[in-house]
Every structure is written in structure tokens, then in C-alpha cells.
Amino acid sequence: MITVRIPCSTSNIGPGFDTLGLALNRYLVLKAEPSTTTTVITVEGNGKDHIPADDTNLVYTSMRAFAQSVGRELPALELRVINGVPAYGGLGSSGAAIAGGVFLANELLETRCTQDEMLDVAVKIEGHPDNVSAALKGGFTINCFENGRLHCRSIKITAPLSVIACSPHFQLLTSQARRILPASVTLKEAVTNIENVASLVAAMMSGDVEALAYATRDCLHEQYRATLIPGYDDVKRAALEAGALSCNISGAGPTMFCFATSNQEAIGTAMSAAFAGHGLLSSLEIMAVENDGAVRI
Ligand code: HSE
């Protein structure tokens, strides 16, 4: 039996649209062994009733895609998917499933691909590198394409940062949250994002957490996606008033997340109360950065 563990993640982190990822300490656990009969998939944990347990399962389709990419056949399997990733969107559940499937298939087939080779397969499936890179490599990932070739760095974070994520209970498709984005932005907006993302990377690398207050501002996607999240402005205001360093949409949403070094419970309670003021139930997670990516356990 092979068991692997893959962290969930937040992505974009404000200005780093499709570029920055951050692994967090909630996990997808996968267990697999070859079967002598047919493939059987079981799903447990968060959102289990909404995760397919057939050959459309994203872990399984990602395993098959990996096998195909290395010219191998995936054997019949017993596959257990144990999902500890918060189920409401924005915390890298699909990124963890894809990265996990690829990583698990590499272990099962003993193909010994490097992390970057696995990442290439995972990015082709997901379409963008931020969540899958955090899921595979852990830490704070910085992704850059050069003529279609991905360069990904993972920075290990030592600052005592908490990530408070509040997920309102409604479904927001990533495709819908991407469709709403404009095809072009002004030079001023582009420059603002460059300033902020550069400052954000410096802050994360140096542990200058106070800089997160300004370096997480974004002009490329949040203002558009905010219209899809009832209470966005109130949740952000409540979180900052309760002591958060920052408050952004996590990934494509609808989860919103804060960085903080204190008052974590009060910040979470304030975020939930603000969503409740807009008639929305929400789930709260107070997490830490996970510097390990996908691991065999
Ligand atoms: N970078 C992606 C987005 C993350 O914001 O659409 C969600 O998959």
C-alpha cells in the first residue's frame, strides 16, 4: 500500500494572479495499491458526497494522465481518497487532487520523475501553476513561464504567520471567476501589481510580515471577483478591524483569507459574522504554512 499526503493551498495572494501559491496545513491523503480485479475508488472526508468515486475522479484521471505522459499503463487499483481539504472553493482542492494523482502515480509506477517533471504534467491538467506547485513543492511558490517552460521556486517560510480562511457556503466555479476578468488592464494597474508582487515576495522571504498590509493589494482580479462574493467589502473590513494584516480572496474564491500573527480567533469570528450579515453560513480554518509539499508517508 502506498500512502501520500498533499497539502491544500491558497493562491494569487492578492497581486500574484496565476503566479503565487502558498501551501497550508490541511491535507489530501491518498492510499493506493494494485488490484487483481478492477479499479475501485472510495472517497472519505470533506465534500465526499460531491467527489466522484468513478473513473472521472480527478485524482484518478490525473494518475492516468501521468501514466500516459511517461508511456506507461496504469494498473487496476484500489484507491482511497481521504479529503481533509476544506470543501468550499478557493483552497486548492483541485490542485491537491491533480498534484496528488501525479505524485501517487509516480510512486506507484516507480518512474522516479523529478518534482519539476511532475509539476509540468500537473500544470497541463490544471491550466495554471499556482496551486499545483504549492501542493507538490510546499512553501511559498513563485512561478514563471519562459516560452511555455515553467520555472518554479519554492521558498520556505519561517515567519510565524497564520492563515485564517473563511469559506462562505456557496459554490463559485473557477471558470465563472475567470470569465469575469477583463482582457486588458491599464498601465497604472499593471505597475501597481508589479510593485505589490515584488514587495510581497520580499516580505515573504525576509519575514517582514507588516509589509503584507500593503503588498497584498491587487488590481487584476479581486475587484471583479468581489462582485461574485456577497459581503466581500464587509468581510475585509471586519477582518482588518479585528487585527488581520491583510484580507484577500483565496484563489478564485469564494473563500476569503487573512494573514495574521495574533487575534486569529477574533479575526475568524469577525469574518464569519460579516458573511452571516449577508445571509451566508461559512466555515472557518485557522491554518499555518506547510513547507513540505507532496510526501509519501
Ligand atoms: N490562479 C487561479 C485563479 C487560482 O485565480 O483563477 C484558482 O484555480
DSSP states of 84-130: -S-SSSSS-HHHHHHHHHHHHHHHHTT----HHHHHHHHHHHHSSSH
Q: pLDDT at position 195, please?
A: 97
Question: Which residue's CA is the closest to the ligand 1 atom numbered 3?
Answer: 252
Chain mean pLDDT for the chain: 97
Q: What separation in Å is there between the alpha carbon of 21 and the centre of ligand 1?
A: 10
Position 87 scores a pLDDT of 87
Q: Which atom of ligand 1 is nearest to the CA of 178?
A: 6
Protein residue with least CA distance to atom 4, ligand 1: 251
Stated pTM of the model:
0.96
Of 142, 140, 23, the closest CA to residue 91 belongs to 23
* Per-residue pLDDT tens over the stretch 248-275: 999 999 999 999 999 999 999 999 999 9
Using pLDDT thresholds of 50, 70 and 90, give the confidence band for residue 199.
very high
What is the model's pLDDT at position 105?
98
Work out the angle between the directed axes of helices 115-126 and 93-108 (0-180°, nearest 10): 140
Q: What's the average model confidence in pLDDT over 90-102?
A: 97
Express each pLDDT in 222-252 by its tens digit: 999 999 999 999 999 999 999 999 999 999 9
Q: Which domains does the chain have, with CATH numbers?
A: 2-155 (3.30.230.10), 162-288 (3.30.70.890)
Nearest CA to ligand 1 atom 6: 252
Which cell numbers in the block locate residue 293? 509539499
Q: How confident is the model at residue 93 (pLDDT cuts 50, 70, 90)?
A: very high
Question: Mean pLDDT, to the nearest integer, of 3-16?
Answer: 98
pLDDT at 9: 98
Whether 68 contacts 27, CB under 8 Å: no
In this structure, the residues whose C-beta lies within 6 A of any atom of ligand 1 are: 11-12, 17-18, 128, 130-131, 174, 177-178, 251-252
As a whole number of angstroms, the distance between CA 51 and CA 265 comes to 30
Statement: residue 131 has pLDDT above 90: yes
- Residue for cell digits 471583479? 224
**What does the alpha-carbon distance between residue 40 and residue 1 come to, in Å, rounded to a whole number?**
14
